Structure 1
Amino acid sequence: MGRALTGTVIITGGNGQLGSEIAVAIAKTQPFVHLLLTARDAKSDDVTSLITRIRLIGPRSIEVLPLDLTDLREVTRFSQQTVDRVHSKEIPPIVDLIHSAAVASYVVDELTLDGFDPVYQTNCVAPFLLTVGLLEAFRAGDKTREGGAKVMYIGCSAASDGRLDYFDHNQGRDSRPPGTLLSAREGNARFGSSKLIASVALYALRRSLACTGNISLDIFTLDPGGIAGKSHLRTRPPLSVRVAHQTQTGLRPFLRMLSRSSINKAHVPAKVIAKVAFQADAVENCQRERYYILDSEYEAASVISALRNGPQLTGRLVQVMREAEGGKNSGSPTSIGTLPVLSINGESEV
């Protein structure tokens, strides 16, 4: 390509059902970005197929790197290596970080090596740690319409069934034997809680960064709606649970409009995500906390009530930060240890 690359886009779960379609959508509309996709197995057939699809679009800069979100040490290592590559100008600064990887489970699972419920770690702790670990690699803001970078967390309507305190007891440890089947209701609450907590922690991180005034980074959640097709990163429940799950009302979003209640193929929300990731936002709009349901924009606090509770928000941020830093296997990421955490009124908490 004769033109210099304009930025790096990181998509976790890049070979998954939605992540792969996001990569394709961005490749079609943004030919001058570097696509950095992550996958648990970077040599899988899914990855090979995806790269072939993108190569057929045209000459694109793309790489797929291994990243296991159930290993916080690996997340830390990936973050530091990416920051180093940006500093050395091997790759351009990050313009978009899209947290697409996710896992659901309808059985009691063994804890990760870091000591967490794997659903909670994959969907919440690891994305938070990755975001903080990459702070030095994001494109710096220059107070123009396209000055800052974006972090997009892919949420879901199941968060409406979630609770902020779901994993508070012993970090989500379950006293039942691993492999014990969970009901559809319990599995959905577990998944939704992990998504809810992640959204709240990331919005709280956004406020903290805004208070410091040093990093121009917009962080928000996007609900892609129901998606048809097989997911590569979802632990499917047994048939009896799937049938029961289909009768639940958990698929409703917080504010889903009737016209958006249908189940779409993954390429439909992927196009929306690619559009939102690169839309030029006025500087004043970047100060607002936004929540998307497909391409409809809402005030985040109107969707997630916890954002209206300053002390609760700050407490959740501090807790997730400590969990990300204190995982048994994670080491001590200096990027978290040195991050100032501010409450809503600007008083230092950590």
Structure 2
Amino acid sequence: MTLAVVTGASSGIGAAVAQHLAERGLTVLGVARRAMALEKTGAQIRGPGRFESVVADLTTDAGIADVATAVAGRPVTALVHSAGIDHVREPAMTTRAELDHLWNANISAPFLLTKALLEFFADGAGVVFIGSTAAVRGIDRHAPYGASKAALLGLTVNLAADLAPRVRVNCVSPGGTRTPMTADYVNAYRQGTAPELADRAFAVESGRMLLGGLIEPKDVALTVGHLAVDAVAMTGTTVYVDGGFTAR
């Protein structure tokens, strides 16, 4: 059965992608750091595909190796790298350790995991990275995160050139999506900010989304699934699933 590797499969967009691909009949290898959360994702899968899991920290060499071992030589049709971390802090307060951690999670991990799976990719396989509109639209207290997602766009186009024509590499950049990471971002954004000012800022940003409101993870998953499996003529592209945010 066709194998898809999905990182960050314990919640949010990653969990929605895992469920979507399993519903399409793929065997999904879900990767995350929390075993119980992965089990919850697996319990929500409604076939006809299967769900397997591996607990791994992709910021470490051991974690990358654990995923490659779990693949067990099977052909990989899709790799969706949804795992990543956010960072909300004033530039003056950001440390080198925080920058290194952010870079390892958001750039090094997707590159090194793709590298580790190169020998396993089936012909025509699709790699999809999960980016962010923060790469192209400025947000205060978000410079390192936005820069890491901008680097992911560069990784997409350059890996597409390296791996063509056997493997396609694309990126999906969501806007505000109803995920635990978004909730954490809101909480972090409020720190040191009067609640009424934070509320006003988010109301203004929501008003810039042409379709209104937060995006659901399942809607992002539909586009991810298309790029990973169906879009055989697309590589090196970034697709924005942002409710029209960047169009403003």
TM-score by length of 1: 0.59
Does the Cα contact within 8 Å between 1:22 and 1:273 map onto a contact in 2? yes
Alignment of 1:170-319 (within 5 A): 185-186=140-141, 188-210=142-164, 216-231=166-181, 237=188, 239-240=190-191, 247=201, 258-259=210-211, 262-281=213-232, 285-286=233-234, 289-294=236-241
Aligned length: 235
> RMSD value over aligned CA atoms?
3.2
Which protein has the larger Cα radius of gyration, Structure 1 or Structure 2?
1
* Deviation per residue, 1:237-288 (Å, 9 max, x gap): 1633575666279969xxx9834x542222222223223322152xxx34x5
Alignment of 1:1-350 (within 5 A): 5=1, 7-28=2-23, 30-31=24-25, 33-41=26-34, 43-44=35-36, 46-54=37-45, 57-58=46-47, 60-71=49-60, 73-82=61-70, 85-86=72-73, 92-107=74-89, 108=94, 111=97, 117-140=100-123, 148-161=124-137, 185-186=140-141, 188-210=142-164, 216-231=166-181, 237=188, 239-240=190-191, 247=201, 258-259=210-211, 262-281=213-232, 285-286=233-234, 289-294=236-241
**Alpha carbons of structure 1 residues 131 and 241: separation in structure 2 relative to 1, 3 Å:** farther
Does the Cα contact within 8 Å between 1:15 and 1:39 map onto a contact in 2? yes
Q: The residue matched to 1:15 in structure 2 has which SS?
A: coil
Distance 2:27 2:121 in 1: 13
**Alpha carbons of structure 1 residues 229 and 37: separation in structure 2 relative to 1, 3 Å:** closer
Ranges in structure 2 where 5+ consecutive residues have no aligned partner: 244-248
Q: The residue matched to 2:180 in structure 1 has which SS?
A: coil
Does the Cα contact within 8 Å between 2:86 and 2:181 map onto a contact in 1? no
Distance 1:207 1:250 in 2: 39
Ranges in structure 1 where 5+ consecutive residues have no aligned partner: 87-91, 141-147, 163-183, 297-350
**Alpha carbons of structure 1 residues 264 and 105: separation in structure 2 relative to 1, 3 Å:** same
Query: Which structure's residues are more often helix, by fraction?
Result: 2
> Aligned AA for 1:268?
D
Does the Cα contact within 8 Å between 1:150 and 1:217 map onto a contact in 2? yes
Distance 1:245 1:53 in 2: 34
Does the Cα contact within 8 Å between 2:22 and 2:48 map onto a contact in 1? no
1:101 Cα deviation (Å)? 0.8
1:75 Cα deviation (Å)? 3.9
* Deviation per residue, 1:117-160 (Å, 9 max, x gap): 211110111111111111101002xxxxxxx0011011110001
Q: State, as a whole percentage, how many aligned pairs show the same letter.
A: 25
* Deviation per residue, 1:193-228 (Å, 9 max, x gap): 111112202321221233xxxx61111111223212
Does the Cα contact within 8 Å between 1:16 and 1:232 map onto a contact in 2? no
Distance 2:183 2:190 in 1: 18
Q: The residue matched to 1:228 in structure 2 has which SS?
A: coil
Distance 1:135 1:295 in 2: 30
Distance 1:22 1:217 in 2: 19
Distance 1:37 1:248 in 2: 32
Distance 1:124 1:239 in 2: 27
Distance 1:154 1:267 in 2: 14
